Structure 1
């Protein structure tokens, strides 16, 4: 393995397309979309786009944003990604109050329900916490350091979320496991008590997304084209729904094995009764009914959103309105696909979040295929030869002694 090959691999990684992301304010006051390094926010109450102000003194995002989220009350917002920056935003008015520099690329973020801590996970499998004490007294935070609180053993964390009661912080990784950790009263001292592990995923395909729902349950989607229902207290698997097979999306790879389209994202209603699922090869979403009393999942229907090239990459929902947001459109739970002028904020919102430039169909199809490849790359754990692994170790900066 020569150095030229390694450089080509790095170049390929640097030019990788990042799937677009969407996040919705808990009371639907605003909606945010991340496209590459560009963060776009639209004020739904004012009916206008938001001009973001950075008061933190840090540099703006200059690489792909991989994670965005609102806090439980909507006062805080966090964005982070490949530029190793975690930016903490005050949403009223919109301004960046602090920028944290991570040692590794950031893959997931979460805000504690009491808005006292921002947690983020890096590509080395470590979860860090930033203490936000003093935020309510001072609009700009100073001298806040990120502290490691837990880790998955050298496995990239794909999702991170707090339970509604704030008792647990739940993390999932590419090694097909979900870890439920007790969130301590003093997180900066470390989160060492593990409540449970949710195991049993297909042994070669990673978990891609999960969401905690009421009554101590969790729904997860994975690379084996299934959605699963778990009890987070015990880690027990309660039910499995074969969404890819039910939608007729399984394909043959030319041999005896079938190819499983991955679940790229999922999103549940506030009461957990309905789950929207985005699947890699589905030009729309699948709606599942979640019966918490019977502890079962069942398919309601498949909703086609747009033409074949449309591939949902991120879903979002507020706790106050019955609207499910996809990265470029909105759909009701009935479900009813809204016309452009029926979307909250109308055409002005769409121009802000998705851009106003018209695109030819051929370009749109090519871009959609690129996004599909990017999602596949995001979900598949990379395998390296012994020679390449040793070469990569030589360039690792986490082992260098800091001056």
Structure 2
């Protein structure tokens, strides 16, 4: 029996009431002001089983362009006026994070190999990444990446608890490290109302604030107690503890929503006196895959369950009218759905089956590092 593929990633346009929802190798677009679909699932699309899906999506500064990348190792740039594809670039490895520069002339992409590349969008000439040198490289998998608004620094997090602040585009010049996490760092974002501060989260159950250019820690908020009652059933030692999977900011009300892999709860943190404080917990009906605040401070949540999407208003009351159409629309059907929670595999092989440990060790052994001359 085939099942509906959930929306694995969601991202909201910074200037328009449009939410993009990744669904297999397609994406849908929803008007968040009225819940109506702008771009629907292709009527002739029928892929089973699903092997390609979006790993990351990002808008440019004015929301006119959307960058996506998936399992097919392609970076695609879409025109949000008509959702036509404008450009494609090949990636050497699968991309974990992608972002436009401030003038949208380049795309910066971090891959699971641990490297960061920049891709020019000034022309359509394909780039051979086998010959291209990376902007910077980690000896560990890069899990997330963000550029500062002035494009002077690129900030990267990795599997080995590190956050690195490097000069852009000369990434070999390291400005500082933000060190303090005790488990994999999964999410990093600049604080929208003070972009000199970085917010990070990961597998150690903490939200941390950093002075970006000094690398000093400004706050550590431990939220393990708040999420304890909503932790998922552990499949192995790597999933015994909750792991932060996504962050989303409500700029208007200075709130931060924190989602955890395989958990049905979202923590809401309020920003008061230059610090985040726990405010409340939203408990949903099924595990959460991704979250995004819209421009009207509604919180959109994608689920791994019968209901694909739920919406909560500023008072964090559920608003079914906005999600009704998207929950009843056609989406990808598949007899076999890929692993939705690979994020747990970022932890350090805590009592994993021997065959998986050996496989990862062999992959690391054979990994070829690219270095500058």
TM over 0.5: yes
Deviations 1:39-83 (A, max 9, x none): 222355793332699xxxxxxx96232111111110110111221
CA contact (8 A) 1:244 1:279 kept: no
1:287 aligns with 2:268: yes
Unmatched 5+ residue regions in structure 1? 1-16, 54-60, 134-140, 358-362
Among 139, 143, 146, the residue aligned to 2:125: 143
Cα displacement (A) at 1:223: 0.3
Greater helix fraction, Structure 1 or Structure 2: 1
Structural mapping, 1:1-400, within 5 Å: 20-43=8-31, 47-50=36-39, 63-133=52-122, 141-145=123-127, 147-183=132-168, 187=169, 190-202=170-182, 205-213=183-191, 214-215=193-194, 216-249=196-229, 259-270=240-251, 273-280=254-261, 282-291=263-272, 294-306=273-285, 310-318=286-294, 320-327=295-302, 328-339=309-320, 341=321, 343=322, 347-352=324-329, 355=331, 371=340, 373-377=341-345, 379-381=346-348, 392=363
Counterpart-to-counterpart distance in 2, 1:199 and 1:335? 34
CA contact (8 A) 2:136 2:172 kept: no
CA contact (8 A) 1:112 1:118 kept: yes
Counterpart-to-counterpart distance in 1, 2:214 and 2:291? 28
TM-score (norm 1): 0.73
CA contact (8 A) 1:181 1:191 kept: yes
Counterpart-to-counterpart distance in 2, 1:241 and 1:374? 25
Counterpart-to-counterpart distance in 1, 2:364 and 2:179? 30
CA contact (8 A) 1:162 1:168 kept: yes
Deviations 1:343-375 (A, max 9, x none): 1xx5333344x8498xxxxx9xx989x64x534
SS, match of residue 271 in structure 2 = strand
CA contact (8 A) 1:221 1:263 kept: yes
CA contact (8 A) 1:331 1:338 kept: yes
The 1:165–1:192 alpha-carbon spacing in structure 2 relative to 1, beyond 3 Å, is: same
Taking only aligned residues, the RMSD between alpha carbons, in angstroms, comes to 3.7
Unmatched 5+ residue regions in structure 2? 43-49, 303-308
TM-score (norm 2): 0.78
The 1:19–1:224 alpha-carbon spacing in structure 2 relative to 1, beyond 3 Å, is: farther
SS, match of residue 28 in structure 1 = coil
Cα displacement (A) at 1:337: 1.5
Counterpart-to-counterpart distance in 1, 2:37 and 2:6? 26
The 1:178–1:161 alpha-carbon spacing in structure 2 relative to 1, beyond 3 Å, is: same
Counterpart-to-counterpart distance in 1, 2:190 and 2:152? 12
Tell which structure's C-alpha radius of gyration is larger.
1
CA contact (8 A) 2:257 2:268 kept: yes
Cα displacement (A) at 1:148: 4.0
SS, match of residue 348 in structure 1 = helix
SS, match of residue 228 in structure 2 = coil
Cα displacement (A) at 1:110: 0.9
CA contact (8 A) 2:108 2:118 kept: yes
CA contact (8 A) 2:209 2:217 kept: yes
